[in-house]
C-alpha cells in the first residue's frame, strides 16, 4: 500500500500549503478538518469502480496509478527474493547467523524495491546500495561456506549497482516533480 498512497500524502501537503498561503484557514484547522478546493475536475485516469466489469483494464491501471516498474527495481526485487533462499540452497540451518544476514538483507531489498516502484519514492532506491553492500560484505564476517560468501558478494554487488540508474517517471506530480528521479 505504501507505493500506492505516497502520491496522496503529497497531494494533501500541496493542498494544505496552497490553502494556508491563501490565508483562509489556520494550519491546524486545515490539518484536522480539511477543506475544499475550487475548480477541481474528475481525473480521467480514475474511472468509476462500477465500470469494472465493462472496463477491467482501465480500472486496474487506475488502481496502480503513480507506480511504474523500472526493470532495475524489478530485478532488484527478484535478487532480494533470491538472497532469502540462498542459504537454504547451500544447506545452511535457518538459525545460523549467516542465514539471518541473507534473510534480513534480502527481505529489506524486496521492501525497498517495491516501495520505490511508487514514483514519488523513487529516490529511496539508494537504500539498496547500502543493503547490497551489507549483503556483499557481512557474510564474510559471520562464517559459512565460501560459496555462500561469493553468492552474497555477487547478489549484493548487483543490487547496489541496480540502485544507481534512474527509472522512467510516467506521471506528473505538480510541484513535486523536481524531487522524483
**37 domain residue, yes or no:** no
C-alpha to C-alpha distance for 47 and 55, rounded to whole angstroms: 9
Q: Residue 154's domain spans which residues? A: 71-162
Q: What is the pLDDT of residues 23-70, one digit of tens each?
A: 777 778 877 877 777 665 555 555 565 666 676 666 656 666 667 888
**157 domain residue, yes or no:** yes
Which residue would you say has higher pLDDT here, 157 or 54?
Answer: 157
Set of cell numbers at residue 128: 539498496
Q: What is the pLDDT of residues 163-179, one digit of tens each?
A: 998 777 777 666 666 66
Number of domains making up the chain: 1
**126 domain residue, yes or no:** yes
**151 domain residue, yes or no:** yes
Q: What is the residue-averaged pLDDT of the chain?
A: 81
Q: What is the pLDDT of residues 74-116, one digit of tens each?
A: 999 999 999 999 998 888 877 788 899 999 999 999 999 999 9
Instruction: Give pTM, 2 decimals.
Output: 0.75
CA distances to 78, 97, 111, 119 from 124, rounded to whole Å, are 18, 27, 11, 10
**61 domain residue, yes or no:** no
Amino acid at each position: 500500500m505504501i507505493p500506492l498512497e505516497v502520491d496522496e500524502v503529497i497531494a494533501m501537503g500541496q493542498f494544505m500549503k496552497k490553502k494556508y498561503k491563501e490565508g483562509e484557514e489556520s494550519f491546524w484547522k486545515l490539518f484536522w478538518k480539511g477543506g475544499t478546493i475550487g475548480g477541481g475536475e474528475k481525473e480521467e485516469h480514475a474511472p468509476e469502480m462500477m465500470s469494472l466489469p465493462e472496463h477491467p483494464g482501465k480500472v486496474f491501471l487506475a488502481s496502480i496509478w503513480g507506480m511504474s516498474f523500472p526493470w532495475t527495481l524489478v530485478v532488484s526485487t527478484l535478487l532480494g527474493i533470491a538472497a532469502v533462499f540462498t542459504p537454504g540452497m547451500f544447506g545452511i540451518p535457518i538459525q545460523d547467523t549467516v542465514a539471518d544476514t541473507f534473510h534480513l538483507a534480502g527481505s529489506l531489498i524486496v521492501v525497498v524495491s517495491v516501495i520505490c516502484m511508487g514514483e514519488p519514492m523513487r529516490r529511496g532506491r539508494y537504500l539498496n546500495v547500502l543493503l547490497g553492500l551489507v549483503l556483499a560484505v557481512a557474510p564474510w564476517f559471520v562464517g559459512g561456506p565460501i560459496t555462500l560468501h561469493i553468492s552474497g558478494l555477487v547478489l549484493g554487488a548487483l543490487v547496489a549497482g541496480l540502485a544507481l540508474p534512474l527509472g522512467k517517471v510516467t506521471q506528473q506530480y505538480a510541484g513535486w516533480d523536481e524531487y522524483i528521479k
